[in-house]
Chain A
Amino acid sequence: MPRKEGARKVTGQAQYVDDLKFPGMIYGATVRNQARRGIIRGIRFEPGVAWDEFTIVTAKDVPGKNYVALILNDQPFLADEITAHAEEAVVLIAHPDGYLVEEARRLVRIDVEALPCIDSLQEAIEQKEIIWGDDNILKSYLMNKGDVDRGFAEADIIVEGVYETGAQEQLYIENNGMIAVANPDDGVTVWGSMQCPYYVHKALMPLFGLPPEKIRVIQMETGGGFGGKEEYPSMIAGHAALLAWKSGKPVKLIYDRAEDMTATTKRHPSRTRHRTGVTRDGKLTAMEIDFDIDGGAYATLSAVVLSRGTIHAAGPYSCPNVRIRSRAFATTYPPHGAFRGFGAPQSIFALERQMNKVAAAAGLPAEEFRRRNFLHEGQTTATGQVIREKVDLDDLLFRALELSHYHHHRDTFDRANPTSRLKRGIGFATFMHGAGFTGSGEVALASVVTAEATRDGKVRILTASTEIGQGTNTIFSQIAAEALGIDYSLIELAQPDTASVPNSGPTVASRTVMVVGKLVEAACVGLKLMLLSSGLLKELYTSEEFSSAASDYIDRIGPLRASGEYKPPPNVFWNDETYQGDAYGAYAWAVYVAIVTVDPVTYEVRVDDVVAMQEVGKVIHPVLAMGQIEGGIAQAIGFALYERVAWKNGRMANGQMTNYIMPTSADLPPIRVFFAENPYAYGPSGAKGIGELPMDGVAPAILNAIEHATGVEFNQIPLVPELVMEGLVGQRHALPEAKHAR
């Protein structure tokens, strides 16, 4: 099926927020803290523009509550007496002349009396200063399975390792932006680039002290999100609306690239310490994992990122004794947030590097070590979840290694590397990714989708799930068409507008097809049954007959509309206190293989080939599914080798596309994607979620390949050439820290 909104996109007619222009619209800009953490002593407006022509908003102008409603509600829309980090929003200005607004922005001075800062995870842990709560800890988890101390006592070999990942910028090509119209009588309406209209809706209510029906949020065509537009749009929507409220005019607030990069959220940096015990046969007896992430100055989504990273930290292995201690720390940086994978890429990077290290210590090839420890049906994960599906990681591994000619390349490279100028290596990672919200999260979301027939005989799907490039419109149309037994062309997707679509939950967590798609199916089945039982349509019908029957129904009887509401799969038990039980309804399973070339002259690493093998339940739309995997792998290659955030004075110093390095078409290898299917009973047509999966396995596969190529152990990403140089010139050799337990 062609992409539902594809024609608009290839002709330039798709409407993104910056393409809209309203009569009387004025332009907003955000004035940000140019210092770091401190006490705001004053705000000065220097001469140079006619300030009386400007709308000016500070924290004092907030009609309701000055916090962005999310989880802990600790982040203000506008800093008031204290500013917690560099680039925090303090003042909003607006004017009809967009050029003049920029001139004015330069003339606002915020005087900040410095307070001590926390510059790193290490400083946060050491409590060099308390900047959040009592101990700088935004959230922590302790997960226990079995008895890890006994497990280590039983181990013949114990291996330790420390692994680090850096921040990563989502770098959607469309910058964040919002347009708002707001006044006390009519309420607030915003249009913008976003993933979650109801998150924005929820955040605007307390800001203005208005009830739900007075807030309206409309998603425009959105040029990429990847998590970077999960929560941050609430902040911009609030800012645009505050300016609109005060000025009485429509306000357009669009970030340029520099502002988007320096002020909005990034992937949480992480540090993971592994301690693993195995028998001399390479069977896991104990896994102890300390997983720490850097949350930035406010809590925002850190608790949930930490949660997912924690649950994924021990991977697709069967180990009787596991202890995972995880913490999210506050630091003096702009808060970090959601980015595809959401904690899992960080903890899986550490795990898959550690597993290779343990394999080497046990004297086993990496693939054999995995085989001896893979989860099978009937075994339990680290949270004690019993695997109730036929997971066949051995088969995925076998096929991935075959498709990548793994053994052949390994031998060839081993023989050639000692005398060849370029060093080549091949490595892999095995992993899983749970789709949907954790545990009872989906029950709490209580998502709804509505299907309604239109007067001209079409069926419109009403859902808050957004199209952000991943194919929501197309897949939902396909599911609806199949459920209704009518032509794809008769399906419409309503623009996500909180005034007219029900809350289907956020467009995150790889849940859109697997969870919400099922509701689309249910709503359509409901609508079909309504029509059939009305007698206006017989059992076997054509698309045309359906259309005219639907039309008839509306004329004669009334609205033809049905909804699907979320029902949890049976036998899913989750304990939020102990973090035990069925963490996710379904896991996708994968093995990714990477081939690299390392240039010892320039220390550059080039990825030559990626083979991505995954079992995803059912592939509903091959082109869209391939597109998701390929795009995710490209981002993950960036995460592994290129995308370094340079921090200076508490802010991103390389906030331009020239200096934040995303791979171009010339940098990426052919990406070869393969699917296996094993239908998930509760996903539409058996589908599991796949959007985030490709982010997890690429970085460790690449670093495993680099270790093969060079013989040097690298354990941090992004592994830029400067770091490769330190390793090669220093000639450090990877000696597994093998100790005998007895």
Chain B
Amino acid sequence: MRSHVPAYELRAARDLPQALSMLSEGLRPIAGGTDVMVLFEAGKLAHKKWVSIREISELRSIDIMPEHVTLGALTTYTDIRRSAILAAEFPLMRAAAALTGGIATQNRGTIGGNIVNASPAADTPPALLVYDAEVELVSSRTSRWVEYRHFHQGYKTMDMAGDELLTRIRLPRRFSDWKHFYRKVGTRRAQAISKVCFAGLRSGDQTRVALGSVAPVPIFLENSDLSAIAPIDDVRSTARYRMQVAKNLMEEFLNVTA
């Protein structure tokens, strides 16, 4: 444990207004802890004041409306895997959740946390991109919906103010009769960070493709055109591999969904 633990402050928010008030005081939110606590252990958690939002039950739900399915930000991967509506209409969410970490991580990790941790290699974001998701950002003063496609602006930079909390993710119910394809290529079969993550939907000639781990952000491909991606070499893999595999996956996607 490489951090000086007593120097860190952690309080619990009972409800959303209290959480938002603490955010405007400069505390940052921690939900499942599966990202924040890893940085903490490694001595890399620069920010020292945190508020636990994990007890705000209204943020953990999956609501079915006529036009949308809305997930609360605290929905865990296990919740996603168990959801019948997601299985029926948004199977890529389940596919991604099942491939994220192991059972213990899935029990604890949340979709909101996954989005705002903004790792380029995150597994669920490509699914959110092809499903045309929107995210709700709320502060003490404001409340807005942002298209998820425009949420990530650069590596670890998001359209989100320091006092805003991501509260809900909304998925339009218009893809259930499309063909769904998801492939995560990780370093091993389970408990792996992805090297390339491919989500694709197809309906006739229409395709919607998004990838993870091939750009500084999870990326939705305009016209399903791979020339937009810019993979890099890193400790897990190489740019050449990512590029080649992305091409292969595109070809496989088109074959399988033909």
* A residues apposed to B, CB below 8 Å: 98-100, 102-103, 106, 256, 258, 600-604, 606, 642, 646, 648, 653-654, 656, 658-659, 661, 663-667, 721-722, 725, 729
Contacts A/B (CB < 8 Å), 24 sampled: A99-B1, A99-B3, A99-B5, A106-B43, A600-B248, A601-B248, A601-B249, A601-B251, A601-B252, A602-B183, A602-B248, A642-B188, A648-B235, A653-B235, A659-B193, A659-B236, A661-B192, A664-B102, A664-B189, A664-B191, A665-B190, A667-B189, A721-B185, A722-B238
| CB proximity of A651 to chain B, nearest CB, Å | 12
| A644–B192 CA distance with the chains assembled, in angstroms | 14
| A654–B236 CA distance with the chains assembled, in angstroms | 8
| A646–B235 CA distance with the chains assembled, in angstroms | 7
| A276–B130 CA distance with the chains assembled, in angstroms | 56
Chain B residue total in the interface (Cβ 8 A): 31
Q: Mark B1-21, 1 if CB is under 8 A from A, else 0.
A: 111111000000000000000
Q: A642-B187, A661-B192, A667-B189 are in contact. Are A103 and B4 (CB under 8 A)?
A: yes
| A283–B242 CA distance with the chains assembled, in angstroms | 45
Q: Which of B17-52 contact A (CB under 8 A)?
A: 42-43
Q: A661-B188, A667-B188 are in contact. Are A102 and B1 (CB under 8 A)?
A: yes
B241 within 8 A of A: yes
| A652–B236 CA distance with the chains assembled, in angstroms | 13
Verify A664–B2 contact, CB threshold 8 A: no
B240 within 8 A of A: yes
Q: A661-B192, A722-B238 are in contact. Are A99 and B245 (CB under 8 A)?
A: no
Note all chain B residues with C-beta closer than 8 A to A602. Answer: 183, 185, 196, 245, 248-249
Verify B190–A725 contact, CB threshold 8 A: no
Q: A642-B187, A659-B236, A661-B188 are in contact. Are A256 and B241 (CB under 8 A)?
A: no
Verify B189–A725 contact, CB threshold 8 A: no
Q: Which of B166-213 contact A (CB under 8 A)?
A: 183, 185, 187-193, 196
Which residue on B lies nearest to A105, using beta carbons?
B2
Which residue on B lies nearest to A601, using beta carbons?
B248
B237 within 8 A of A: yes
Note all chain B residues with C-beta closer than 8 A to A646. Answer: 235
Q: A646-B235, A725-B241 are in contact. Are A667 and B2 (CB under 8 A)?
A: no
Verify B5–A729 contact, CB threshold 8 A: no
9 A-B pairs with least C-beta separation: A666-B190, A666-B189, A103-B4, A601-B248, A722-B241, A661-B187, A664-B190, A602-B185, A667-B189
Note all chain B residues with C-beta closer than 8 A to A603. Answer: 241, 245
| CB proximity of A512 to chain B, nearest CB, Å | 32
Verify A604–B4 contact, CB threshold 8 A: no
Note all chain A residues with C-beta closer than 8 A to B188. Answer: 642, 661, 663-664, 666-667
Q: Which of B4, B244, B252 is within 8 Å of A725, CB to CB?
A: B244
Q: Which of B211-258 contact A (CB under 8 A)?
A: 235-238, 240-241, 244-245, 248-249, 251-252
Which residue on B lies nearest to A98, using beta carbons?
B1
| CB proximity of A186 to chain B, nearest CB, Å | 32
* B residues apposed to A, CB below 8 Å: 1-6, 42-43, 102, 183, 185, 187-193, 196, 235-238, 240-241, 244-245, 248-249, 251-252
Verify B240–A725 contact, CB threshold 8 A: yes
Note all chain A residues with C-beta closer than 8 A to B1. Answer: 98-99, 102, 256
Verify A659–B235 contact, CB threshold 8 A: yes
Chain A CB within 10 Å, residue with most, of B3, B188, B190, B248: B188
Note all chain B residues with C-beta closer than 8 A to A258. Answer: 2, 42
| A106–B46 CA distance with the chains assembled, in angstroms | 14
Chain B CB within 10 Å, residue with most, of A98, A648, A658, A722: A722
> Besides the contacts A99-B6, A603-B241, what 10 more A-B pairs have beta carbons closer than 8 Å?
A98-B1, A99-B1, A99-B4, A601-B245, A601-B252, A603-B245, A642-B187, A661-B192, A666-B189, A725-B240
Which residue on A lies nearest to B187, using beta carbons?
A661
| A230–B216 CA distance with the chains assembled, in angstroms | 43
Verify B193–A658 contact, CB threshold 8 A: yes
| A642–B195 CA distance with the chains assembled, in angstroms | 14
Which residue on B lies nearest to A665, using beta carbons?
B190
Q: A721-B241, A722-B237, A729-B244 are in contact. Are A604 and B2 (CB under 8 A)?
A: no
| CB proximity of B25 to chain A, nearest CB, Å | 25
| CB proximity of A419 to chain B, nearest CB, Å | 14
| CB proximity of B229 to chain A, nearest CB, Å | 16
Which residue on A lies nearest to B252, using beta carbons?
A601
Note all chain A residues with C-beta closer than 8 A to B241. Answer: 603, 721-722, 725
| A601–B240 CA distance with the chains assembled, in angstroms | 14
| A661–B1 CA distance with the chains assembled, in angstroms | 22
Note all chain A residues with C-beta closer than 8 A to B237. Answer: 722
Note all chain B residues with C-beta closer than 8 A to A642. Answer: 187-188
| A456–B237 CA distance with the chains assembled, in angstroms | 61
Note all chain A residues with C-beta closer than 8 A to B252. Answer: 601
| A314–B245 CA distance with the chains assembled, in angstroms | 39
| CB proximity of B112 to chain A, nearest CB, Å | 21
Note all chain A residues with C-beta closer than 8 A to B185. Answer: 602, 604, 721
Which residue on A lies nearest to B251, using beta carbons?
A601
Chain A CB within 10 Å, residue with most, of B2, B5, B238, B240: B2
Q: Which of B43, B183, B193, B251 is within 8 Å of A102, CB to CB?
A: B43
| A661–B251 CA distance with the chains assembled, in angstroms | 28
| CB proximity of B29 to chain A, nearest CB, Å | 23
